[in-house]
Amino acid sequence: MNTKDVMEKIGLQALNKFEPREVDGVFVSDMLSDVMAGAKSGNLWVTVQTHKSIVPAANLVDVSAVVITSGKEVPAETIEMATKHDIAILSTDLPIFELVGKLYGLGLVSK
């Protein structure tokens, strides 16, 4: 399953253009330090953080996409930076807990 499939199945909104990438597990955290320590290449990173510093963190661990939950407005500079560094930013109105339920429903497990 790639990022585009996940996006379509759950009804996520894409905030920038991206090349679909294989999704390998999910990582949920709002803490950059947590992501640095725990997320793996190909993970879908789910967070409410919208500050542009999520981009370097996402880049560092090479996640397949960042999903911003709770319908948070994402600053333009975050999106701009993400696009520049080839990081897909998706968005949903669901809070983290509900989104996780749906992702699990797709058969995604944490890796």
Q: In the set 3, 7, 18, 49, which binds other proteins (CB under 8 A)? A: 49
Contact between 52 and other proteins per CB under 8 A: yes
Q: In the set 7, 12, 15, 26, which binds other proteins (CB under 8 A)? A: 26
Contact between 20 and other proteins per CB under 8 A: no
The Cα 20–Cα 70 span in angstroms is 23
Nearest-CA neighbor of 60 among 85, 36, 28, 33? 36
Q: What angle do CA 60, 70, 61 make, to 5 degrees?
A: 10
What are the beta bridge partners of residue 45? 27, 66
Which chain residues interact with other proteins by CB under 8 A? 1, 5, 9, 25-34, 36-38, 40-42, 46, 48-49, 51-53, 55-57, 59-62, 70, 81, 85-86, 95-97, 100-101, 103-107, 109-110
